[in-house]
Amino acid sequence: MKMNARQTPHFHKLKNIIPEDELIGMIERDIIPHVEEFQEWRKAAFEKIPQALLCQVFDEAVEQNPITLHKFLGQWGNLSVESVSKICLIAKHIDPKGVFEFGSFNGMTTLQIALNTSYHCTSYTLDLPPDVDISGMSEIDTYMFRKHYKPNVPKRYIDTPVEHKIDQLYSDSRDFDFSKYYGKIDLVLIDGGHDYETKKSDTENALKLIGDQGVILWDNYDDVGCPYVTKYLSELDLPMHHLKGTNLVIYRKS
């Protein structure tokens, strides 16, 4: 499929944030070269990962519980409101004792999950240290990270009633020792590094975290700006579903 920079979702999302000439150049270097192979990965993924409603993955009760959202309106780098809402509905439904999030960012999603889990649930959220070398990021992500992400600004869960339920961890997930969490986690959200090797490493660790039961969610599926997420998931031998209206893929182990 032929695509120019102005046709990409990134152009429409970022055209009022990044000067247009700079943005077009970044898209032409970051995204356009991968469009054709992304379409092939996307086709393979669509054949393997059916789209589903939340109630089809669980049951109708999953959509009936009320959820609480606070400071949930996102910015660049945050999940959509629909994605956040569905994650919270899942959390409310499965009542996890432990949650593990790959990629804290500003703590917006971390806060919503903590608000919708029981008092006995601990949310572990792992992020890169604030002073980390970000040279491996895409050009667009590097620009946005440097210009718009302020690591010294408190995470959104700070000074909220659920702050005590959250354990903030800092490390590159590829180097982190997950062993003490193996089998203790019921819900995993993978939304950290979007390159193939990091997604593979994070997934292999997530499968050890959930033990005999649990749910894993991946963000940035079917996203031309993060093509290797779709590529990796298209090759993963698990029964997964794409949650309709989101860029989330879900695996439920039972």
pLDDT of 151: 67
Distance CA 36, CA 196 (A): 17
How confident is the model over 192-212, as pLDDT tens digits? Answer: 988 999 999 999 999 999 988
User: Per the confidence metrics, is the pTM higher than 0.85?
Assistant: yes
Residue 133 has what pLDDT? 66
Angle, helices 108-115/81-94, rounded to nearest 10 degrees = 30
Q: Which two tokens stand for residue 99?
A: 């949650």
179-193 pLDDT tens trace: 999 999 999 999 998
Q: How many domains does the chain have?
A: 1
- For 9, the domain range is 5-253
Closest Cα partner for 211 from 180, 244, 184?
184
pLDDT in tens, 74-109: 888 899 999 999 999 999 999 999 999 999 999 999
CATH of the domain at 129: 3.40.50.150
DSSP classification of residue 77: T
pLDDT score, position 147 = 75
Task: State the Cα torsion 254-188-39-141 to the nearest 10°.
Answer: 180
Backbone dihedral angles phi then psi of residue 58, each to the nearest 5 degrees:
-110, -110
**pLDDT tier, 10 (very low <50, low <70, confident <90, very high otherwise):** confident
Residue 3 or 236, more confident: 236
What is the helix (H) or strand (E) element at residue 205, kind and residue range? Answer: helix 196-209
41 by DSSP, 3-state: which? helix
| pLDDT for position 103 | 94
What pLDDT shows up at residue 152?
Answer: 73
Beta bridge partners of 250: 217, 241
